[in-house]
């Protein structure tokens, strides 16, 4: 082993460089969608009481949010923003459909969903139905939802807050994290879905 100081410095610099590079790659791709294709069959109903299945995620781009109506903060904020994105995109955004898939189907009946989603926009469809079918959709998109009981006998839901951008091919094209800047979100929707 030669004790060349330049080699030592070069090796150290290379090592640091590679570590940083791997780190940057990791952080770049960590939050990227896994280009998931949705392959789960399910049978649910929309807020008008009509049957819906896995075909709603194909044939047109869509914005999908997993939330619930007993949600004081994140869900109304996100749906308000979705309505804003659709308004802002105007005619360009017409092919986009948007869905609120409830993670709380026990309380969110089609009627309640209808009153809720239409308060934001006439372009958001509520999806509810049997809890086990909802679980299939949530798992199919690798989202997360869990019931948290309260001491008072009620419960809250923990759930994924990202807005899912799904392409017409039925693949996940991107995620808009909660609290995103609206301009950034809109350009993300344009580049991913339109």
Partner 1 sequence: MSTIRAKFLVAAVALMLPGTASSQHMHAHGTGNITIESAFSRAMLPVAKVGGGYLTINNAGAADRLVGAKSDRAEEVQIHEMKMTGAVMEMRELDNGIPVPAKSTVKLEPGGYHLMFTNVSRPFKEGETLAVTLIFEKAGPIEVEFAVGPFAGAQRPHAAHEGHD
| Beta-bridge partner residues of 127 | 46, 101
Q: Verify binding: residue 69, partner 1, rule CB under 8 A.
A: yes
Among 47, 104, 133, 162, binds partner 1 (CB under 8 A): 162
144: nearest Cα among 157, 156, 132? 157
Number of residues that bind partner 1 (CB under 8 A): 37
Among 9, 11, 115, 194, binds partner 1 (CB under 8 A): 115
Q: Nearer to partner 1 by C-beta: 38 or 116?
A: 116
Check: CB of residue 42 under 8 Å from CB of residue 133. yes
Q: Which residue has the tokens 């294709």?
A: 37
Check: CB of residue 46 under 8 Å from CB of residue 129. no
Q: Nearer to partner 1 by C-beta: 133 or 162?
A: 162
Shortest Cβ distance from residue 40 to partner 1 (Å)?
20
Q: Nearer to partner 1 by C-beta: 57 or 66?
A: 66
Q: Verify binding: residue 132, partner 1, rule CB under 8 A.
A: no
- The SS3 of residue 170 is coil
d(CA 48, CA 111): 7
């Amino acid at each position: 082993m030669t004790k060349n100081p330049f080699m030592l410095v070069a090796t150290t610099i290379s090592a640091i460089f590679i570590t940083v590079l791997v780190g940057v790659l990791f952080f770049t791709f960590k939050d990227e969608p896994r280009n998931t294709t949705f392959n789960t069959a399910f049978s649910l109903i929309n807020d008008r009481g009509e049957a819906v299945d896995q075909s709603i995620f194909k044939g047109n781009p869509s914005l999908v949010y997993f939330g619930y109506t007993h949600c004081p903060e994140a869900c109304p904020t996100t749906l308000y923003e979705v309505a804003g994105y659709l308004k802002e995109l105007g005619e360009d955004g017409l092919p986009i459909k948007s869905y609120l898939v409830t993670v709380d189907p026990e309380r969110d009946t089609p009627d309640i969903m209808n009153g809720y989603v239409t308060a934001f926009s006439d372009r958001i469809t509520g999806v509810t139905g049997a809890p086990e079918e909802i679980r299939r959709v949530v798992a199919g998109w690798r989202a997360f939802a869990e019931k948290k009981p309260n001491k008072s006998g009620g419960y809250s839901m923990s759930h994924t807050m990202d807005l899912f951008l799904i392409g017409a091919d039925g693949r996940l094209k991107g995620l808009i994290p909660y609290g995103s800047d609206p301009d950034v979100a809109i350009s993300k929707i344009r580049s991913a879905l339109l």
